[in-house]
Structure 1
Amino acid sequence: MSESKYIIIGDGAAGATAAENIRDRDDEAEIHVFTDETEPLYNRIMLKTYMKGSLPKQYTRLHDENWYEKRDIELHLDTRVENIDTENKQIEADGTYGYDKCLVATGGSPRKLPQDEGYDNLKYMWTMENAETVKESAEDAEKAAVIGGGLLGIDLAVAYAENDCETHYLIRGENWWSRGLDEEGAEIIHRKLEELGVNVVTNSALESFETEGDEITAVVDENGERYEVDAVAAAIGQKPNSGIIDVEKNESGMIETDEELRTSEKDVYAAGNMVEYVSPVFQRKIVNGAWDHSEAMGEFAGRKMTGEKGEFEFVNTYGVGHFNVQFLSIGATFGQSVSKKYSEDEYRRLFFEDDRLVGAVMIGKTDGQEELRKLIKEGSPVENKEELFE
């Protein structure tokens, strides 16, 4: 192949995987990977175990700088890309770099609480640096509050509780992860959290903080309940890191792509979490932040950028590994749902759209997951929904 120039912005699961796949298909290519982080690729999923104190930091690392050198990929650590000039096909970072194809895999940043005024003991979580500060906070704190009823919030709550910290987990709605679970399924998760020492508080939206100087001393919710704290951690979603490029974006600022992960600008692709793409599987626009999904997007983008054909057809799987029962989510959580609780610790919820299976959430009873994933990808109508519970 000719000596093409590839620029990849972001060294997460999507960016690093794309670089690897480009190199596998183009021995002569010039490949640059830019990241504003100070360390090469690490396993973001394993950060939840690292925060608990049960996994040494070195075991979260996936690549070192030598990995990039061996593959003749130029890695620019601690380097922020300021602008992508799509007209002249170049970027501005620690210098000016031209490209033939560019991948934006910049992900997102934690969304901050409206009540945040820069308090020293208020923590957010996404990067390795964040994980280190949360780990230190959890080890030092005696009382903590965690805010945010999603998949990342549960990791923060368990991190504090497993460091022998009195932990109050404040969830705005009726139950944890209401997008994927009803109250019957969430009861299992709430109970497992309580067994780990987490005080689960539902219907508890944050109202205000009580403070002394730069420290939060108490959290007050809209019901007037007050929780004394040494530390607070929040996971209320992310905002996309998409300001470096002028392409079509959705109302939340996420970069939009087609089913081939191409943006509205020629030769610019986007991948990873906080990217909205057209999914041939789900027949609609999709955003997904799961690790395996971002990795698959990066692999696909690398192939597309080197000239392969096809559409991005992928069904993700996400697990929560904190409990003595397995939690697994496959596919999407939209459409109509039906659920079944088999026993105290076994539950399944299935999501359908126009009689097509689009998603499944399983607790305890996770057998048949590959068959369900295949059904989701095939998109064939399901005649007997009840059979899928068995």
Structure 2
Amino acid sequence: MSIPSRVTVVGAGAAGLSVAEGLRREGFSGRLTLVGEEEHLPYDRPPLSKQLLTGAWEPDRLPLRSGEDIERLDLDLRLGVRATALDSDRREVVLDDGSRVGYEALVIATGAAPRRLPETEGIAGIHVLRTLEDALGLRSALGDKPRLAVVGSGFVGAEAAAVARELGVDVTMITDAAAPLADALGVELGALLTEVHRENGVRIEAGVGVESVTTHDGHATGVRLADGRTIAADAVLVGIGAVPNTAWLAGSGIPVGNGVECDSTLYAGSGVWAAGDVAAWLHPRTGRALRIEHRTNAAEQGLAVARNILAGPGRATPFDSVPYVWSDQYDLKVQIYGQTRNADRVEIVEGSVADRRLVALYGRGDRVCGVTGINLPRATRTHRALVAEAAPWPNARSEDHPLKDPADDLPQHTVKEPLRSTS
């Protein structure tokens, strides 16, 4: 694997832009193609469920870089076209406009697509929240003050529910977890978020799956729950996680499972790398495959791939960073460093649930694996070092609160939500 003279990046989000900027910053002067399915210049997605949805921001505030900044990267920029296939023998990406783009090194940064409820294609009033158009469509619908059913209680669902209530919308949140974000944060902090949402007028149906969407004349009228009840709704937001965009790689020989399967350096073989939500890489310390849907992770991986492409044969370095995600809900700022999901213990080490200001450490085995802070950003950052070092669990005690995934006890027809980033 020699240093390439032509690099193609498929995916023009945070990860893809980070690759392009990293390559140019490190002195790459070869041909650099950036392919994006959307017609927009690379833009930031976290505000879609926050500032843009509230109306505080308009779309012109979302671009990650100005048009002039993009021009300075000297890109072969292909926007509004989608990759449909990869010819790895000829080292060409096939686009839906009939053209082909060659490469010596290819970076797959195609992100993930929102999961949808079965048999809901074409039904009016059903929304997902992944793209600028998705957010504008939901914002327009919320302006009519509908009865909104939010299916899923991950970050996107919880944030959108909070925004909708602030706009005066009637909201019901439906989740198969014990409480909003309980599968990521644990039952105690999940209960705190439940209390806050209810105080702000959100009705929460927890521990129950969704069977179907009811309709009339092709428009959603409600959500039928697995227990037989129906929640009336004029609009339905589906926030049940996302799946990596890898279908276009079928038959290419690139290893695909829960994302593009890479080694610890984000290399998938045959001149192909991956970055962002689509990348499943071997974590250098645990040896386990990991795929993270965090905004900061996407940018960091993009820079890491750029450096590794230019490092030359045998000099690529493993990607090992501390994942970070944040969420703003009402007057709560929730911050997470590391991996709290599937931890087996949690302990509040600063503040309290009662004060709604706290820092909680999460452990797996005898090591710290994550930290969550609520309204204590400085103290939360201080504890980040324990996560980065995978420090021995402090003051381990048998009475430490267990942190399990409540969905493990739910019926098999329910859908678990992967931790996804809105930040």
Structure-1-length-normalised TM-score: 0.92
State the match for 1:376 in structure 2.
387
Does residue 233 of structure 2 align to residue 218 of structure 1? no
Deviates further, 231-240 or 176-185: 176-185
Report Cα offsets for 1:26-77 as digits up to 9, x if no partner. 3421100001101011111111121122222222222243322112112111
- The amino acid across from 2:392 in the alignment is P
State the match for 1:54 in structure 2.
56
Deviates further, 231-240 or 2-11: 2-11
Cα distance in 1 for partners of 2:395, 2:222 equals 52
State the match for 1:82 in structure 2.
84
- The amino acid across from 1:296 in the alignment is E
Once the two structures are superposed, the pairs formed by residues 1-390 of structure 1 within 5 Å of their partners are 4-48=5-49, 49-93=51-95, 94=97, 95-245=99-249, 246=252, 247-250=254-257, 252=258, 254-263=259-268, 265-307=269-311, 309-333=316-340, 334-340=342-348, 342-344=352-354, 345-385=356-396
Cα distance in 1 for partners of 2:133, 2:336 equals 27
Stretches of structure 1 lacking an aligned partner (at least 5 in a row) = none
Secondary structure at the aligned position of 2:277 is classed as coil
Deviates further, 195-204 or 363-372: 363-372
**Per-residue deviation at 1:144?**
1.0
Partners of 1:68 and 1:74 within 8 A in 2: no
Cα distance in 1 for partners of 2:4, 2:215 equals 58
Deviates further, 96-105 or 197-206: 197-206
**Per-residue deviation at 1:140?**
1.8
Report Cα offsets for 1:236-265 as digits up to 9, x if no partner. 111221122231122x4x1111110001x3
**Per-residue deviation at 1:23?**
0.9
Identical positions, percent: 23
Cα distance in 1 for partners of 2:281, 2:28 equals 29
Partners of 1:52 and 1:158 within 8 A in 2: no
Cα distance in 2 for partners of 1:329, 1:7 equals 33
Aligned in 2, Cα 1:3/1:114: closer, same or farther, shift over 3 Å? closer
Partners of 1:14 and 1:294 within 8 A in 2: yes
Partners of 1:3 and 1:28 within 8 A in 2: no
Cα distance in 2 for partners of 1:3, 1:282 equals 31
**Per-residue deviation at 1:179?**
2.0
Stretches of structure 2 lacking an aligned partner (at least 5 in a row) = 402-423
Secondary structure at the aligned position of 2:17 is classed as helix
**Per-residue deviation at 1:165?**
1.1
Cα distance in 1 for partners of 2:28, 2:263 equals 28
With a CA cutoff of 8 Å and minimum separation of 6, indicate the structure with the bigger relative contact order: 2
**Per-residue deviation at 1:123?**
0.5
Secondary structure at the aligned position of 2:148 is classed as strand
Partners of 1:145 and 1:227 within 8 A in 2: yes
Q: CA RMSD in A?
A: 2.3
Secondary structure at the aligned position of 2:332 is classed as coil
Cα distance in 1 for partners of 2:81, 2:209 equals 38
Cα distance in 1 for partners of 2:189, 2:394 equals 25
Cα distance in 1 for partners of 2:104, 2:267 equals 14
Deviates further, 299-308 or 287-296: 299-308
Cα distance in 1 for partners of 2:186, 2:28 equals 51
- The amino acid across from 2:381 in the alignment is E
Report Cα offsets for 1:249-308 as digits up to 9, x if no partner. 22x4x1111110001x32100111132111124442211101001110111011111126
Cα distance in 2 for partners of 1:55, 1:274 equals 28
Secondary structure at the aligned position of 1:82 is classed as strand
**Per-residue deviation at 1:322?**
2.2
Aligned in 2, Cα 1:277/1:2: closer, same or farther, shift over 3 Å? closer
Cα distance in 1 for partners of 2:235, 2:327 equals 24
Report Cα offsets for 1:201-242 as digits up to 9, x if no partner. 212321233211110112222233332221111011112211
